[in-house]
Structures are given as structure tokens and as C-alpha cells.
Amino acid sequence: MNYTSASIPEYDGKVPHLRCNKEDIGQIVLLPGDPGRVDMFADLCDNFKIISKNREYTLGTGYYKGLKISVCSTGIGAPSTEIAVIELMALGAKALIRIGGTGAIKENINCEDMILNTGAMRLGGSSIFYARPEYPAVASFEVVDSLKKACEEKNHCYHIGICASVGSFYHGQGRGTPFDNNYDEKKTLEEYIKLGILNLEMEAETIFTLSAIYGVMAGSICTVHCNRITDKWLIDNENAQIEMCKTALMGALNLNNLYLNKL
């Protein structure tokens, strides 16, 4: 039988869940939730290669206009995101950018718009083990600025503000289930709306909180795939996702050129 440390496990010198080492990743890592989204970057980057696949984690690395960049799926929600974030930081990542889809709760935000979150309401669950609830989950100015410039360069409609990262897709985000006869969806949504929340998603606060604690830059860019107020869900959002990925790559390049290479 072969063993490794239960506290700090390794697999042939690789982190246990992402199954890669420091040489495999770039300083900037994009974080989609869906493992399938990692494959999109094969057409968007040069020499893009899948490094590892394990459970909900797929990690690939390539080059965008000469910049080495990695893409690593986190799965859905805070617990799996926590694992990805901690292991990527252990491997030397300097900036983590969430990319994905989100649900808007402002009537004027349309499907396929972009949302850049400056902060997140901490309802994910995992970050509470690292910092008290009062500790803010905020994005790095440098990342928000870089993504904002990318949206403007590509002439995208974008919105900037605070999201709620919720460790629940149904009740936590104001959705009933087939088993609820009298569930009041509007009541839950109205609580978020009164706080000025722009959108609901499931991973940003974990990324923001852990990155701030451990000195890594962090941000988020998501395309809107549904609007809970107008009750519209975009069925085919692949083109919007691809455009968001292109914008995230441009934002990563901006971040490297404007901020990271000056550290």
C-alpha cells in the first residue's frame, strides 16, 4: 500500500484534486464552473492543452497573444470552488477570474449583457471557515478595471455592482420546487433587490474572500443567461459564453500588461 499525508496529500508531487504542478499553470487563471467550458479555449488560445481531468475539475493551459493563461473549472458552488482556489494559489496563481453565467434581478439587464461584480454577498457557505461573516468579499480594483476596459474595447453592454453568491439554486435564489405549494418566490428576490443586488450566482464570494485573505487578485465576469424579473431564460447561450470568454481573455491580457508585470 502507498500512502501520502492526509493533511497535505499529493499525487506524484501534484495537488490532489487538480492533479497538476506549478509548471502547468499560468499566473492568471480563468475559473468557469462548467468543465465543458474549458474546451472552448482550444479555439481561443494558441497551443491550448488539457492538463488534467479529475471529478468536476478540468484544467487547461495555453497562450493568448503570448500570455500563458490557464482555465480551470470549479464545479457548482462554494465547496468545490474552495478546493480549486486553494490549490491554484498553492501552485502560484497571482490572479483568479471567475467566468460563467448568471441570473440578473434588475429589469433593465438583458440576457447576453455582461456583469462585472465588485463585491459579493457571502451566502456560499465555505468562506465562513476562513473569515467572520463581517469580512467583505470584494473584487480587486485591478481586475475590475481590466475587465471593464475589455468590455469597452469590444463594445459590450456591461453592468457593474454587487452579486449574491448563494449556496442554493432553488430556495436560496427564490425558486420554488415541484414540492412547494405555497412558496413565495417574490419574497426572497425582493430581499436581494432591496439591497441593490444586481445578480445571483454561486461562486464569486468564495473566490473574492479567499483571494483577499491570501493576497491574490480576483474578479468576475459573467454573461447574463436569465432575468428573474422578466422571467426569461436564454436557452441557447453558447455564443454569449464564447463572447464572454473572449472578453475575459482580453481582460486578462490587460491585467497582465497594466498591473501584474509591474509588481
Selected catalytic residue, list 17, 19, 98, 159 = 17
Residue 209 · residue 117 · CB < 8 Å:
no
> Residue 187 burial by CB count (10 A; 0-12/13-18/19+): exposed, middle or buried?
exposed
CA distance 12 to 4: 10
Residue with cell 468545490: 80
CA distance 174 to 188: 5
Q: Give the CA-trace dihedral at 176, 180, 181, 182, to 10 degrees.
A: -60
Nearest to 225 by CA among 214, 237, 216: 237
CA-based end-to-end distance of the chain: 45
Nearest to 82 by CA among 137, 5, 11, 43: 137
Q: Is residue 87 annotated as a catalytic residue, yes or no?
A: yes
Selected catalytic residue, list 56, 82, 87, 142 = 87
Could you please report the per-residue DSSP string of 162-199? EEEEES-SSGGGT---TT-SS--HHHHHHHHHHTT--E
Selected catalytic residue, list 112, 156, 171, 175 = 175
CA–centroid distance for 261 within its chain = 23
Q: Which residues pair with 99 in a beta bridge?
A: 221
Residue 198 sits at φ, ψ, to 5 deg, of -85, -40
Residues known to be catalytic? 17, 87, 175, 228
